[in-house]
Amino acid sequence: MASINLIEAFQEFKDAENIDRPTMMKVVEDVFKTLLRKKFGSDENFDVIVNAEKGDLEIVRHRVIVDDGEVMDPLAEVPYTEATKLEPDYEVGEELYEEVDIMDFGRRAILAAKQTLASRINDLKKNVQVKKYNDRIGEIISAEVYQVWKKEILLLDEDGGELILPKSEQIPQDYFKKGENIRAVVKKVDLKNNSPVIILSRTHPSFLAKLLEIEVPEIFDGLIVVKKIVREPGERAKVAVESYDDRIDPVGACVGMKGSRIHGIVRELKNENIDVINWTNNTQLLIQRSLTPAKISTMELDNESMHADVYLKPDQVSLAIGRRGVNIKLAQELTGYSIDVFRDNEGEVEEFDVDLEEFSDEIESWVIDELKRIGCDTGRSVLNLTAEELERRTDLEKETIQDVRRVLQAEFEKE
Protein backbone atom coordinates (compact mmCIF):
# COMPACT_ATOMS: atom_id res chain seq x y z
CA MET A 1 0.00 0.00 0.00
CA ALA A 2 1.00 3.62 -0.35
CA SER A 3 1.99 4.83 3.10
CA ILE A 4 2.62 8.40 4.20
CA ASN A 5 6.10 8.77 5.65
CA LEU A 6 5.93 10.93 8.78
CA ILE A 7 9.57 10.75 9.90
CA GLU A 8 10.23 14.42 9.15
CA ALA A 9 7.10 15.53 11.01
CA PHE A 10 8.00 13.40 14.03
CA GLN A 11 11.60 14.59 14.18
CA GLU A 12 10.77 18.26 13.66
CA PHE A 13 7.98 18.49 16.21
CA LYS A 14 8.77 15.70 18.69
CA ASP A 15 12.41 16.71 19.18
CA ALA A 16 12.60 20.42 18.39
CA GLU A 17 9.27 21.41 19.89
CA ASN A 18 9.32 18.97 22.84
CA ILE A 19 5.95 17.41 21.93
CA ASP A 20 5.73 14.04 23.65
CA ARG A 21 5.27 10.91 21.51
CA PRO A 22 1.83 9.79 22.82
CA THR A 23 0.37 13.23 22.17
CA MET A 24 1.85 13.32 18.69
CA MET A 25 0.50 9.84 17.87
CA LYS A 26 -2.96 10.77 19.14
CA VAL A 27 -3.03 13.87 16.90
CA VAL A 28 -2.09 11.84 13.80
CA GLU A 29 -4.67 9.17 14.68
CA ASP A 30 -7.42 11.78 15.15
CA VAL A 31 -6.68 13.45 11.82
CA PHE A 32 -6.93 10.21 9.86
CA LYS A 33 -10.00 8.99 11.73
CA THR A 34 -11.67 12.23 10.61
CA LEU A 35 -10.65 11.34 7.05
CA LEU A 36 -12.23 7.88 7.46
CA ARG A 37 -15.50 9.31 8.79
CA LYS A 38 -15.75 11.62 5.78
CA LYS A 39 -15.25 8.75 3.30
CA PHE A 40 -17.06 5.85 5.00
CA GLY A 41 -19.40 7.63 7.45
CA SER A 42 -17.81 5.91 10.47
CA ASP A 43 -14.37 4.97 11.83
CA GLU A 44 -15.58 2.15 14.11
CA ASN A 45 -14.22 -0.70 11.96
CA PHE A 46 -10.86 0.90 11.26
CA ASP A 47 -7.58 0.89 13.19
CA VAL A 48 -5.12 3.71 12.59
CA ILE A 49 -1.64 2.43 13.48
CA VAL A 50 1.15 4.98 13.85
CA ASN A 51 4.74 3.78 14.03
CA ALA A 52 6.51 6.55 15.90
CA GLU A 53 9.95 4.97 15.44
CA LYS A 54 9.78 4.67 11.64
CA GLY A 55 7.30 7.48 11.09
CA ASP A 56 4.93 5.22 9.12
CA LEU A 57 1.16 5.26 9.10
CA GLU A 58 -1.03 2.21 8.47
CA ILE A 59 -4.83 1.99 8.31
CA VAL A 60 -6.43 -1.47 8.77
CA ARG A 61 -10.09 -2.23 8.09
CA HIS A 62 -11.70 -5.23 9.82
CA ARG A 63 -15.06 -6.82 8.84
CA VAL A 64 -16.85 -10.08 9.68
CA ILE A 65 -17.30 -12.57 6.81
CA VAL A 66 -20.96 -13.50 6.22
CA ASP A 67 -22.79 -15.60 3.62
CA ASP A 68 -23.42 -13.97 0.28
CA GLY A 69 -26.61 -11.96 0.27
CA GLU A 70 -26.75 -11.65 4.08
CA VAL A 71 -24.75 -8.44 4.44
CA MET A 72 -26.75 -6.15 6.75
CA ASP A 73 -24.03 -3.59 7.50
CA PRO A 74 -21.48 -3.06 4.67
CA LEU A 75 -19.11 -1.24 7.06
CA ALA A 76 -18.96 -4.15 9.52
CA GLU A 77 -19.61 -7.15 7.24
CA VAL A 78 -18.20 -8.55 3.97
CA PRO A 79 -19.73 -11.29 1.72
CA TYR A 80 -17.97 -14.67 1.59
CA THR A 81 -17.26 -14.50 -2.16
CA GLU A 82 -15.51 -11.13 -1.86
CA ALA A 83 -13.42 -12.34 1.08
CA THR A 84 -12.19 -15.47 -0.73
CA LYS A 85 -10.95 -13.34 -3.61
CA LEU A 86 -8.38 -11.98 -1.16
CA GLU A 87 -7.65 -15.28 0.55
CA PRO A 88 -9.27 -18.60 -0.54
CA ASP A 89 -8.97 -20.18 2.95
CA TYR A 90 -11.39 -17.72 4.60
CA GLU A 91 -14.57 -19.13 6.15
CA VAL A 92 -17.88 -17.56 7.20
CA GLY A 93 -17.67 -16.10 10.70
CA GLU A 94 -14.00 -15.18 10.52
CA GLU A 95 -12.76 -11.60 10.59
CA LEU A 96 -11.20 -10.10 7.50
CA TYR A 97 -8.34 -7.63 8.04
CA GLU A 98 -7.56 -5.45 5.05
CA GLU A 99 -5.09 -2.60 4.60
CA VAL A 100 -6.57 0.65 3.30
CA ASP A 101 -4.59 2.34 0.58
CA ILE A 102 -4.21 6.01 1.52
CA MET A 103 -4.40 6.95 -2.15
CA ASP A 104 -7.98 5.64 -2.26
CA PHE A 105 -9.05 8.73 -0.32
CA GLY A 106 -8.19 10.92 -3.26
CA ARG A 107 -5.56 13.60 -3.73
CA ARG A 108 -7.72 16.43 -2.42
CA ALA A 109 -8.65 14.57 0.79
CA ILE A 110 -5.01 13.65 1.45
CA LEU A 111 -3.92 17.27 0.98
CA ALA A 112 -6.64 18.44 3.38
CA ALA A 113 -5.47 15.85 5.94
CA LYS A 114 -1.88 17.04 5.69
CA GLN A 115 -2.98 20.65 6.21
CA THR A 116 -5.11 19.66 9.21
CA LEU A 117 -2.18 17.72 10.65
CA ALA A 118 0.15 20.69 10.21
CA SER A 119 -2.41 22.97 11.87
CA ARG A 120 -2.91 20.62 14.83
CA ILE A 121 0.84 20.23 15.32
CA ASN A 122 1.26 24.01 15.15
CA ASP A 123 -1.37 24.39 17.89
CA LEU A 124 0.50 21.83 19.99
CA LYS A 125 3.71 23.75 19.44
CA LYS A 126 2.04 26.98 20.65
CA ASN A 127 0.63 25.28 23.74
CA VAL A 128 4.02 23.81 24.62
CA GLN A 129 5.68 27.24 24.32
CA VAL A 130 2.96 28.99 26.36
CA LYS A 131 3.22 26.43 29.17
CA LYS A 132 7.01 26.49 29.10
CA TYR A 133 7.24 30.27 29.51
CA ASN A 134 4.24 30.73 31.80
CA ASP A 135 6.20 28.59 34.25
CA ARG A 136 9.32 30.74 33.75
CA ILE A 137 7.88 34.24 34.22
CA GLY A 138 10.31 36.18 36.41
CA GLU A 139 13.28 33.97 35.48
CA ILE A 140 16.42 35.11 33.68
CA ILE A 141 17.10 33.41 30.37
CA SER A 142 19.84 33.71 27.78
CA ALA A 143 18.89 33.96 24.11
CA GLU A 144 20.54 34.72 20.79
CA VAL A 145 19.76 37.88 18.82
CA TYR A 146 18.25 36.79 15.50
CA GLN A 147 16.88 40.04 14.10
CA VAL A 148 17.19 43.68 15.21
CA TRP A 149 14.32 46.00 14.35
CA LYS A 150 13.59 49.61 15.27
CA LYS A 151 10.92 48.86 17.88
CA GLU A 152 11.99 45.40 19.07
CA ILE A 153 14.53 42.61 18.89
CA LEU A 154 13.72 39.03 17.87
CA LEU A 155 15.64 36.39 19.81
CA LEU A 156 15.80 32.60 19.64
CA ASP A 157 15.99 30.35 22.70
CA GLU A 158 17.88 27.04 22.94
CA ASP A 159 14.95 25.21 21.26
CA GLY A 160 14.63 27.72 18.42
CA GLY A 161 11.55 29.36 20.00
CA GLU A 162 10.98 33.02 19.17
CA LEU A 163 11.18 35.65 21.93
CA ILE A 164 10.62 39.43 21.75
CA LEU A 165 12.57 42.17 23.55
CA PRO A 166 10.68 45.44 22.89
CA LYS A 167 12.53 48.76 22.77
CA SER A 168 10.58 49.87 25.87
CA GLU A 169 12.05 46.90 27.79
CA GLN A 170 15.64 47.68 26.77
CA ILE A 171 18.06 49.78 28.80
CA PRO A 172 18.61 53.07 26.88
CA GLN A 173 22.32 52.25 26.48
CA ASP A 174 21.65 48.73 25.14
CA TYR A 175 23.08 47.97 21.72
CA PHE A 176 22.89 44.44 20.33
CA LYS A 177 24.04 42.79 17.11
CA LYS A 178 22.80 39.66 15.35
CA GLY A 179 24.29 36.47 16.80
CA GLU A 180 24.99 38.07 20.20
CA ASN A 181 23.78 36.29 23.35
CA ILE A 182 21.92 38.49 25.82
CA ARG A 183 20.30 37.98 29.20
CA ALA A 184 16.81 39.18 30.09
CA VAL A 185 13.95 38.25 32.37
CA VAL A 186 10.72 36.66 31.10
CA LYS A 187 8.15 39.40 31.73
CA LYS A 188 4.90 37.98 30.33
CA VAL A 189 3.30 35.74 27.71
CA ASP A 190 0.89 37.54 25.36
CA LEU A 191 -1.34 36.17 22.61
CA LYS A 192 -1.29 37.99 19.28
CA ASN A 193 -3.50 36.67 16.46
CA ASN A 194 -3.92 33.48 18.49
CA SER A 195 -0.13 32.99 18.58
CA PRO A 196 1.98 33.19 21.77
CA VAL A 197 4.35 36.14 22.06
CA ILE A 198 7.00 35.80 24.78
CA ILE A 199 7.96 39.27 26.06
CA LEU A 200 11.38 39.72 27.71
CA SER A 201 12.60 42.68 29.75
CA ARG A 202 15.91 44.17 30.89
CA THR A 203 14.30 47.17 32.61
CA HIS A 204 11.93 45.38 35.01
CA PRO A 205 12.96 45.36 38.70
CA SER A 206 12.80 41.54 38.65
CA PHE A 207 15.77 41.50 36.24
CA LEU A 208 17.94 43.23 38.83
CA ALA A 209 16.47 41.00 41.57
CA LYS A 210 17.47 37.85 39.68
CA LEU A 211 20.95 39.20 38.90
CA LEU A 212 21.43 39.80 42.64
CA GLU A 213 20.23 36.27 43.36
CA ILE A 214 22.85 34.91 40.96
CA GLU A 215 25.72 37.04 42.33
CA VAL A 216 24.85 36.92 46.05
CA PRO A 217 24.63 33.38 47.51
CA GLU A 218 23.04 34.70 50.70
CA ILE A 219 20.04 35.94 48.69
CA PHE A 220 19.76 32.63 46.84
CA ASP A 221 19.88 30.76 50.19
CA GLY A 222 17.20 33.03 51.70
CA LEU A 223 19.47 34.53 54.40
CA ILE A 224 19.05 37.97 52.83
CA VAL A 225 15.72 39.17 51.40
CA VAL A 226 15.30 41.85 48.76
CA LYS A 227 12.39 43.88 50.16
CA LYS A 228 11.97 46.34 47.28
CA ILE A 229 13.68 47.48 44.09
CA VAL A 230 13.06 50.69 42.16
CA ARG A 231 14.87 51.57 38.94
CA GLU A 232 15.47 54.25 36.38
CA PRO A 233 17.01 51.85 33.82
CA GLY A 234 20.56 52.70 32.83
CA GLU A 235 20.78 55.54 35.37
CA ARG A 236 20.12 54.54 38.96
CA ALA A 237 18.54 51.83 41.06
CA LYS A 238 17.79 51.54 44.76
CA VAL A 239 17.66 48.14 46.42
CA ALA A 240 16.35 47.72 49.99
CA VAL A 241 17.58 44.51 51.62
CA GLU A 242 17.07 42.84 54.99
CA SER A 243 19.01 40.04 56.70
CA TYR A 244 17.41 37.18 58.62
CA ASP A 245 20.78 36.44 60.24
CA ASP A 246 22.10 39.10 62.64
CA ARG A 247 25.66 38.03 61.84
CA ILE A 248 25.27 38.99 58.16
CA ASP A 249 25.52 42.59 56.98
CA PRO A 250 23.04 42.59 54.05
CA VAL A 251 24.50 45.67 52.34
CA GLY A 252 28.07 44.40 52.62
CA ALA A 253 27.09 40.96 51.36
CA CYS A 254 25.36 42.42 48.31
CA VAL A 255 28.19 44.80 47.43
CA GLY A 256 30.96 42.28 48.10
CA MET A 257 34.63 42.81 48.87
CA LYS A 258 35.67 46.03 47.12
CA GLY A 259 32.41 45.92 45.19
CA SER A 260 33.25 42.58 43.56
CA ARG A 261 29.65 41.30 43.56
CA ILE A 262 27.89 44.46 42.48
CA HIS A 263 30.37 45.38 39.72
CA GLY A 264 29.26 42.53 37.45
CA ILE A 265 25.63 43.60 37.81
CA VAL A 266 26.50 47.25 37.13
CA ARG A 267 28.26 46.23 33.90
CA GLU A 268 25.28 44.10 32.83
CA LEU A 269 22.99 47.10 33.43
CA LYS A 270 25.20 49.45 31.37
CA ASN A 271 26.79 51.24 34.35
CA GLU A 272 23.54 51.79 36.22
CA ASN A 273 24.35 53.18 39.70
CA ILE A 274 23.00 50.80 42.34
CA ASP A 275 22.36 52.05 45.89
CA VAL A 276 21.96 49.12 48.30
CA ILE A 277 20.36 50.16 51.61
CA ASN A 278 19.22 48.45 54.78
CA TRP A 279 15.47 48.03 54.98
CA THR A 280 13.77 49.33 58.13
CA ASN A 281 10.21 49.79 59.37
CA ASN A 282 11.27 53.17 60.76
CA THR A 283 9.90 55.49 58.06
CA GLN A 284 12.12 58.44 58.94
CA LEU A 285 15.25 56.30 58.81
CA LEU A 286 14.13 54.64 55.56
CA ILE A 287 13.62 58.04 53.89
CA GLN A 288 17.03 59.14 55.13
CA ARG A 289 18.67 56.03 53.68
CA SER A 290 16.69 56.23 50.44
CA LEU A 291 18.11 59.69 49.67
CA THR A 292 21.65 58.26 49.54
CA PRO A 293 24.21 59.66 48.75
CA ALA A 294 22.84 62.91 50.26
CA LYS A 295 23.11 63.51 54.03
CA ILE A 296 20.01 64.91 55.73
CA SER A 297 20.13 67.57 58.44
CA THR A 298 16.53 67.41 59.71
CA MET A 299 13.17 66.06 58.61
CA GLU A 300 9.50 66.84 59.21
CA LEU A 301 7.20 63.86 58.69
CA ASP A 302 3.45 63.79 58.13
CA ASN A 303 2.38 60.13 58.22
CA GLU A 304 -1.28 60.89 57.50
CA SER A 305 -0.61 62.56 54.17
CA MET A 306 2.53 60.43 53.66
CA HIS A 307 4.66 63.51 53.06
CA ALA A 308 8.16 64.44 54.23
CA ASP A 309 9.93 67.80 54.27
CA VAL A 310 13.67 67.16 54.23
CA TYR A 311 16.26 69.81 55.12
CA LEU A 312 19.83 69.55 53.88
CA LYS A 313 23.01 71.59 53.68
CA PRO A 314 23.19 73.58 50.42
CA ASP A 315 25.89 71.30 49.00
CA GLN A 316 23.71 68.22 49.63
CA VAL A 317 20.57 69.44 47.85
CA SER A 318 21.70 68.56 44.33
CA LEU A 319 22.81 65.11 45.56
CA ALA A 320 19.39 64.47 47.09
CA ILE A 321 17.58 65.54 43.93
CA GLY A 322 20.00 63.84 41.56
CA ARG A 323 20.51 64.24 37.86
CA ARG A 324 17.17 65.07 36.21
CA GLY A 325 15.52 64.51 39.60
CA VAL A 326 16.12 60.73 39.42
CA ASN A 327 17.41 60.25 42.98
CA ILE A 328 14.46 61.90 44.72
CA LYS A 329 12.01 60.19 42.33
CA LEU A 330 13.38 56.75 43.23
CA ALA A 331 13.41 57.62 46.94
CA GLN A 332 9.71 58.48 46.72
CA GLU A 333 8.94 55.21 44.90
CA LEU A 334 10.91 53.19 47.44
CA THR A 335 9.35 54.76 50.54
CA GLY A 336 5.86 55.56 49.23
CA TYR A 337 6.20 59.10 50.62
CA SER A 338 6.20 62.36 48.66
CA ILE A 339 9.40 64.22 49.54
CA ASP A 340 10.17 67.95 49.36
CA VAL A 341 13.79 69.05 49.72
CA PHE A 342 14.79 72.36 51.38
CA ARG A 343 18.06 74.11 52.12
CA ASP A 344 19.03 74.17 55.77
CA ASN A 345 20.80 77.52 56.31
CA GLU A 346 22.20 76.94 59.80
CA GLY A 347 22.86 80.05 61.90
CA GLU A 348 20.80 82.24 59.60
CA VAL A 349 17.32 83.60 60.15
CA GLU A 350 15.10 81.31 58.13
CA GLU A 351 13.60 83.09 55.19
CA PHE A 352 10.34 82.30 53.53
CA ASP A 353 10.99 80.13 50.47
CA VAL A 354 8.92 78.29 47.88
CA ASP A 355 9.72 75.09 45.98
CA LEU A 356 10.11 75.68 42.25
CA GLU A 357 7.49 73.04 41.52
CA GLU A 358 4.91 75.39 43.06
CA PHE A 359 5.42 77.69 40.05
CA SER A 360 4.70 74.96 37.47
CA ASP A 361 1.58 76.81 36.29
CA GLU A 362 3.69 79.88 35.38
CA ILE A 363 7.09 78.37 34.60
CA GLU A 364 7.43 75.53 32.08
CA SER A 365 8.54 72.17 33.49
CA TRP A 366 11.66 71.93 31.29
CA VAL A 367 12.80 75.32 32.62
CA ILE A 368 12.31 74.09 36.22
CA ASP A 369 14.28 70.93 35.40
CA GLU A 370 17.13 73.00 33.97
CA LEU A 371 17.27 75.16 37.12
CA LYS A 372 17.21 72.05 39.32
CA ARG A 373 20.10 70.67 37.32
CA ILE A 374 22.34 73.39 38.70
CA GLY A 375 21.02 72.89 42.25
CA CYS A 376 18.33 75.61 42.26
CA ASP A 377 15.23 73.88 43.56
CA THR A 378 13.55 76.81 45.35
CA GLY A 379 12.55 80.33 44.34
CA ARG A 380 15.05 82.04 46.61
CA SER A 381 17.95 79.84 45.46
CA VAL A 382 17.31 81.11 41.92
CA LEU A 383 17.10 84.75 42.98
CA ASN A 384 20.34 84.42 44.97
CA LEU A 385 22.14 84.01 41.63
CA THR A 386 22.54 86.92 39.21
CA ALA A 387 20.90 86.80 35.77
CA GLU A 388 24.38 86.64 34.21
CA GLU A 389 25.37 83.64 36.33
CA LEU A 390 22.13 81.84 35.53
CA GLU A 391 22.69 82.45 31.82
CA ARG A 392 26.25 81.14 32.09
CA ARG A 393 25.41 77.99 34.07
CA THR A 394 22.21 76.95 32.27
CA ASP A 395 21.05 76.50 28.69
CA LEU A 396 18.31 79.08 29.21
CA GLU A 397 18.01 82.21 27.08
CA LYS A 398 18.28 85.69 28.59
CA GLU A 399 14.58 86.46 28.04
CA THR A 400 13.53 83.20 29.74
CA ILE A 401 15.70 83.95 32.78
CA GLN A 402 14.21 87.45 33.06
CA ASP A 403 10.68 86.01 32.93
CA VAL A 404 11.52 83.44 35.64
CA ARG A 405 13.05 86.07 37.95
CA ARG A 406 10.05 88.35 37.43
CA VAL A 407 7.60 85.58 38.45
CA LEU A 408 9.66 84.66 41.53
CA GLN A 409 10.21 88.24 42.67
CA ALA A 410 6.48 88.94 42.41
CA GLU A 411 5.79 85.98 44.73
CA PHE A 412 8.24 87.12 47.41
CA GLU A 413 7.11 90.75 47.21
CA LYS A 414 3.58 89.59 48.06
CA GLU A 415 4.92 87.96 51.20
Residue % of the chain over a pLDDT of 70: 91
Enter the pTM of the model. 0.62
Instruction: Give tens-digit pLDDT for 278-326.
Output: 999 999 999 999 998 888 988 999 989 999 999 988 878 888 888 788 9
Residues 6+ apart with CB under 8 A from 24: 10, 13, 14, 52, 121, 124
Is residue 376 exposed (0-12), middle (13-18) or buried (19+ Cβ within 10 Å)? buried
Q: Would you say residue 358 has pLDDT above 80?
A: no
Instruction: Give tens-digit pLDDT for 148-170.
Output: 999 999 999 887 888 999 999 99
For residues 318-342, b (16+ Cβ closer than 10 Å) or e, as one string? bbbbbeebbbbbbbbbbbebebbbb
pLDDT value at residue 16: 43
pLDDT value at residue 6: 46
Is residue 85 exposed (0-12), middle (13-18) or buried (19+ Cβ within 10 Å)? exposed
Cis peptide before 74, with omega less than 30 degrees from 0?
Answer: no
- Name the range with the highest mean pLDDT among 71-80, 187-196, 348-357, 401-410: 401-410
pLDDT value at residue 19: 61
pLDDT level of residue 72 (50, 70, 90 thresholds): confident
> What mean pLDDT do residues 57-65 have?
81
Fold assignment, 136-203: OB fold (Dihydrolipoamide Acetyltransferase, E2P) (2.40.50)
Which residue from 102, 62, 107 is spatially nearest to 83, judged by alpha carbons?
62
CATH of 7-131, one of 3.40.50.620, 3.20.20.70, 3.30.1480.10, 3.40.50.300: 3.30.1480.10
> What mean pLDDT do residues 97-117 have?
74
**Among the ranges given (180-194, 217-231, 340-354, 388-402), the one the predictor scored with the smallest mean pLDDT:** 340-354
pLDDT value at residue 42: 79
Question: What is the C-alpha to C-alpha distance for residues 415 and 403, in angstroms, rounded to an integer?
Answer: 19
pLDDT level of residue 1 (50, 70, 90 thresholds): very low
